[in-house]
Structure 1
Amino acid sequence: MIASAPGKVILFGEHAVVYGRHAIVTAINRRCYADVKKSSKFSISSSIATTGLDFEKHPYVSFALKRFMEFKQIMGAEIKIRSDIPISSGLGSSAAVTISVLKALDAEFEAGLSDEVIYEVARKVELDVQGRASGTDPFISTYGGSWLIPEREQFEIRDLGILVIDSQQYSVTS
């Protein structure tokens, strides 16, 4: 089962969201894709590496699997990740991979999780890996669209042309 989730840009209020302040956030047309198949063992393949459960090389995917198994026990899964979102660029690639994996797991294993539950699980994964986070990235990757955060008021942005340039200068943004 293949699922995808978008990256995001915070138009206003970038760091303020960590402190519960307002931000205007929108999903972008770059996505992460997770292809999940039932298997007798755990396998995670990405541009980073091919591993089993690996909390160092694939922390978001591994914690997503761990958290998913709180809802549905599984014996294994083959997970392949492909992403159009540059990593460590502030575009929400970690949230997009987490949400795409959770949605693909949910569909493949018929767990019946709602979007709100998937968001809450991804929020826990974000905290497992980063220790502190606003929850904005997994929210946008779950629901898409444009939002006022923390109010969760959705609105439409018409014909907004945003040019996002990858400077190839990567850093930890969490």
Structure 2
Amino acid sequence: MANKTLIISAPGKVILHGEHAVVYGKVALAVSLNLKTYLRIRPCSDQNVQLNLPNIDAHLSWKPAALQFLLTAIDADVLNPKAASQEQVERLRQFAGIPEGCTDARSLSILCFLYLYGAISSSSRELPSVEILVWSELPTGAGLGSSAAYCVCLAAALLTANGTITCPVPQEKDTTRWNEDELELINKWAFQGEKLIHGNPSGVDNAVGTWGGVLRYHAGKIDLLSRVPTLRILLTNTKVSRSTKVLVAGVKDKMNKMPNIIKPVLDSIDAISCECERVLAAIASGNAVDKHYAILEELIDINKHHLNIIGVGHSSLDRLCQVTAAYGLHSKLTGAGGGGCGLTLLRPDTSPTVVEASKRALKDFGYDCWETNIGGSGVSLHSPSSLQKDISQLLCDVDQAKLQNAKPTMQLTSHILK
């Protein structure tokens, strides 16, 4: 473990187009979200292994000797990541006191940490005494890739701390990134963490968290688009809970009952994703920006109706679209639908007055709303000196709360490291 503090961030994700159609071999576009998860790792002064996750009220500390079994229980090759076996998962559950079948965020986050910490440390045959603090701007369970961002941060931190990958020196804007081979290794380990949390993930969320930008997902293949702009959006969480499994099953039922109707809709969603990809490249090149933003807005409107046709809309999302339309803005669901989150495209010249009025109107319905960007960078290493005052104060608050054995009270929203 290098004798220094590392601060790492990874973005969440939204789906621009292709929800549900991707299950049937159609193209989906996933894009990084400038709401992030942050991780601080540093040597532990009391020689323990500490994990602090204040967003989900998890504060744990182990003696390295108590974790020594990880080196034999998880005999991993750090350069060739592999999934945890059922036997390994069961042993980790028993150690952490997690009942079988327990799938709450706290339990799965601890399980993921134990596996990645043990597997990545096994190459050096030494368990480092570290203190890890993770905090996030991303709500859990909203389809925004919060678990993947956590896994990406953990993988990057642990791989850097034990010297498997380099510790690059922040340069531009006091942040920096790893080289392509190192990013690939971070992504592979993050994917193993995602498997512990989600069972059979696509790999899209951790790939977005690693590389950022826009990813094209088609028939199991993930490609990073080379020319993409950064777009402004409103991201709105309706806070209506839903089951992705139930929604996917509902689309399948419609497909089985009415294939001649539903298949053309899915084909059209595929065409929307491909056209959006073309338009994004044109905007990135600086060509006819106003014209191409108009096309993006049309694609959003068309896809919104398609998603309602296949049965994944919801009255809360209809209300979101109606509210923003009153201000001349265009919105659609992002993710599984049935509630959850929606995105609203903002043009470069959309006035702050319109944005603020839209946010107020949405909040009046009880929704959470953020103005943010999509298409930015992936996992990054930050210079501690680049932290804004509110981040520094947040870290002090967490440290003080730990000393007092109290739950930290924090407001974690998009103003943090904006």
TM-score of the superposed pair, with normalisation by structure 1: 0.85
Contact 1:71 1:111 in 2 (8 A): no
Residue 163 of structure 2 corresponds to residue 110 of structure 1: yes
Unpaired runs of 5+ residues, structure 2, are 1-5, 63-95, 99-106, 167-181, 246-418
List 4+ stretches of structure 1 deviating above 6 A.
none
> CA RMSD, aligned part only?
2.6
Are residues 66 and 173 of structure 1, via their aligned partners in 2, closer, same or farther at CA, if it must alter by over 3 Å?
A: farther
Q: Quick one: distance in 2 between partners of 1:32 and 1:139?
A: 15
Task: Read off the aligned partner of 1:137 and give its amino acid letter.
Answer: D
Contact 1:26 1:144 in 2 (8 A): yes
Select 2:239's aligned residue among 146, 168, 173: 168
Higher strand share: 1
Structure with higher Rg: it is 2
Select 1:68's aligned residue among 86, 104, 120: 120
Are residues 19 and 78 of structure 1, via their aligned partners in 2, closer, same or farther at CA, if it must alter by over 3 Å?
A: farther
Tell me the CA shift for residue 81 of structure 1: 0.5
Are residues 71 and 27 of structure 1, via their aligned partners in 2, closer, same or farther at CA, if it must alter by over 3 Å?
A: farther
Unpaired runs of 5+ residues, structure 1, are none
Are residues 15 and 67 of structure 1, via their aligned partners in 2, closer, same or farther at CA, if it must alter by over 3 Å?
A: farther
1:141-170 Cα shifts (integer Å, max 9, x gaps): 000111212341414443633221122335
Contact 1:17 1:134 in 2 (8 A): no
Identity of aligned residues (%): 29
30-39 or 58-67, which moves further after superposition? Answer: 58-67
Aligned residues: 174
1:114-153 equivalent positions in 2, closer than 5 A:
114-149=182-217, 150-153=221-224
Task: Read off the aligned partner of 1:63 and give its amino acid letter.
Answer: Y
1:112-139 Cα shifts (integer Å, max 9, x gaps): 1711011111111111222111000000
Residue 82 of structure 2 corresponds to residue 29 of structure 1: no
Higher relative contact order (CA 8 A, sep 6+): 1
1:29-68 equivalent positions in 2, closer than 5 A:
29-39=34-44, 40-46=47-53, 47-48=55-56, 49-52=58-61, 54=96, 56=107, 58=109, 59-68=111-120
1:70-85 equivalent positions in 2, closer than 5 A:
70-72=122-124, 73-85=126-138
2:201 aligned counterpart, secondary structure? coil
1:112 aligned counterpart, secondary structure? coil
Task: Read off the aligned partner of 1:104 and give its amino acid letter.
Answer: A
Contact 1:60 1:97 in 2 (8 A): no
Contact 1:35 1:80 in 2 (8 A): yes
For 2:281, the equivalent position in structure 1 comes to none
Q: Quick one: distance in 2 between partners of 1:172 and 1:34?
A: 29
Tell me the CA shift for residue 108 of structure 1: 2.6
Are residues 18 and 108 of structure 1, via their aligned partners in 2, closer, same or farther at CA, if it must alter by over 3 Å?
A: farther
Task: Read off the aligned partner of 1:165 and give its amino acid letter.
Answer: T
Contact 1:27 1:144 in 2 (8 A): yes
Higher helix share: 2
Are residues 19 and 126 of structure 1, via their aligned partners in 2, closer, same or farther at CA, if it must alter by over 3 Å?
A: farther
Contact 1:89 1:173 in 2 (8 A): no
Q: Quick one: distance in 1 between partners of 2:7 and 2:210?
A: 15
Residue 17 of structure 2 corresponds to residue 12 of structure 1: yes
Are residues 154 and 3 of structure 1, via their aligned partners in 2, closer, same or farther at CA, if it must alter by over 3 Å?
A: same
Contact 1:10 1:25 in 2 (8 A): yes
